């Protein structure tokens, strides 16, 4: 990661809401939008392209045809050129909505219902989160990274458990991060948590930066997840640990479950495997070995499979 020069356009209290981070080498300006730095690579749109493009494709095609077109590469992520805005006016409006109490009211029925929902989910997955904490040695980490944070379920757990640690969270979706930002602000979750719109395949961090890296659900949401593991290892400090879980279709949300029923589980899984969104435990462990992780271990907590590995001095 090269040095970036900050140019502030708007602050609210101490937070930079709008501005730019300008590359000292090439002069490219990365936007800070709505309090979220957008450090995705040039040409990469900061959105969950698979979910968004699948939704659009389902409006035009039968479910099997929509999924096939995406898995075969006929439909892919939108690319930006130098004339394009990073985010459209509609996407900016969606981000501000997700950063609001109105979003919590519409999604959960109100702020208190949202608090209850996340507390209940943390109770459901508490044993899993505790094991991930143990496998990644998070209690010894001063600087940790959450990769593919999504709506921030595990990130909220980390922020509440490790208040003295500095936590960075990346997700390719700007609007996912805006939802996390709004909820944390409304819930009063403070501490050193930094949200960054970035690509797990090209994370904007220097070598050997983090004391620990976790990815809860990343394997089911980051396209070609296994191919991003080399970069995960690159930004881990020596002797530091990475931990992830193995996501299967049985953990899909209700809308995805309906889609699986419509196309059949075999068709669904085979096409998602083409995209690298579904991998077996053995495939993830082998990919970690190929990337140079050592001391690779798998554990199972209830129905959840977890895998950890350590970056050693020698690949």
Q: Tens digits of per-residue pLDDT, 286-310? A: 999 999 999 999 999 988 999 999 9
Q: What pLDDT is stored for residue 228 in this prediction?
A: 95
pTM exceeding 0.75: yes
Mean of pLDDT values over 246-269: 85
| 22 — pLDDT class (breaks 50, 70, 90) | confident
Predicted confidence (pLDDT) at residue 229 exceeds the cutoff of 90: yes
37: β partners: 32
pLDDT tens for each residue of 56-88: 999 999 999 999 999 999 999 999 988 888 999
Distance CA 19, CA 69 (A): 38
CA dihedral of residues 57, 58, 63, 65 (deg, nearest 10) = -20
Q: Where does the chain have alpha helices with state H?
A: 49-60, 63-71, 89-98, 101-108, 111-124, 126-136, 153-161, 174-187, 229-234, 254-263, 265-274, 281-291
CB 182 within 8 A of CB 99: yes
Cα–Cα distances in angstroms (integers) from residue 281 to residues 234, 292, 296, 299, 305, in the given order: 22, 17, 11, 10, 8
Task: Supply the DSSP symbol for 141.
Answer: -
Q: What pLDDT is stored for residue 113 in this prediction?
A: 97
CB 199 within 8 A of CB 177: no
Question: What strands lie across the sheet with 36-37, from one edge to the other?
Answer: 4-12, 15-23, 29-33, 36-37
Question: What strands lie across the sheet with 143-147, from one edge to the other?
Answer: 192-197, 166-171, 143-147, 210-215, 236-246, 304-311, 293-301
Find tokens 């949300």 and name the residue. 253
Distance CA 155, CA 148 (A): 10
Cα end-to-end span (Å), the chain: 21
CB 307 within 8 A of CB 215: no
Cα of 121 vs its chain's centroid, Å: 18
Domains and CATH numbers, the chain: 1-33 (no CATH), 39-311 (3.40.50.150)
| 128 — pLDDT class (breaks 50, 70, 90) | very high
Predicted confidence (pLDDT) at residue 315 exceeds the cutoff of 60: no
DSSP assignments along 111-137, one per residue: HHHHHHHHHHHHHHTHHHHHHHHHHHT
Burial status of residue 158 (CB atoms within 10 A of its CB: 0-12, 13-18, 19 or more): buried
Residues across the chain: 315
Predicted confidence (pLDDT) at residue 1 exceeds the cutoff of 60: no
Give the whole-number percent of the chain exceeding pLDDT 70.
98
């Amino acid at each position: 990661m090269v040095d970036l020069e900050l140019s502030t356009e708007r602050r609210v209290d101490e937070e930079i809401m709008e501005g730019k981070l300008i590359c000292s080498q090439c002069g490219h300006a990365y936007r800070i939008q709505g309090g979220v730095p957008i450090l995705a690579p040039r040409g990469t749109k900061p959105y969950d392209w698979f979910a968004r493009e699948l939704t659009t494709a389902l409006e035009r095609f039968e479910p099997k045809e929509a999924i096939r077109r995406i898995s075969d590469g006929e439909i892919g992520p939108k690319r930006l050129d130098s004339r394009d805005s990073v985010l459209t006016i509609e996407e900016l409006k969606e981000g501000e909505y997700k950063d609001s109490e109105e979003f919590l009211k519409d999604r959960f029925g109100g702020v208190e219902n949202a608090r209850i929902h996340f507390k209940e989910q943390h109770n459901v997955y508490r044993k899993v989160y505790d094991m991930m904490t143990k496998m990644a040695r998070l209690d010894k980490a001063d600087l940790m990274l959450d990769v593919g944070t999504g709506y921030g379920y595990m990130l909220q757990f980390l922020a509440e458990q490790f208040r003295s640690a500095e936590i960075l969270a990346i997700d390719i979706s700007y609007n996912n991060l805006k939802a996390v930002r709004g909820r944390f602000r409304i819930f009063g979750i403070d501490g050193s948590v930094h949200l960054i719109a970035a690509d797990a395949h090209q994370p904007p961090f220097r070598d050997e930066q983090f004391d620990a890296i976790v990815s809860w659900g990343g394997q089911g949401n980051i396209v070609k997840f296994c191919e991003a593991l080399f970069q995960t290892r690159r930004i881990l400090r020596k002797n530091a640990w990475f931990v992830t879980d193995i996501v299967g279709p049985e953990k899909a949300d209700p809308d995805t479950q309906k889609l699986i029923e419509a196309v059949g589980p075999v068709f669904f899984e085979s096409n998602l495997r083409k995209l690298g969104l579904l991998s077996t435990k053995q495939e993830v462990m082998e990919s970690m070995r190929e990337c140079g992780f050592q001391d690779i271990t798998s554990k199972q907590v209830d129905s959840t499979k977890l895998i950890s590995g350590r970056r050693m001095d020698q690949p």
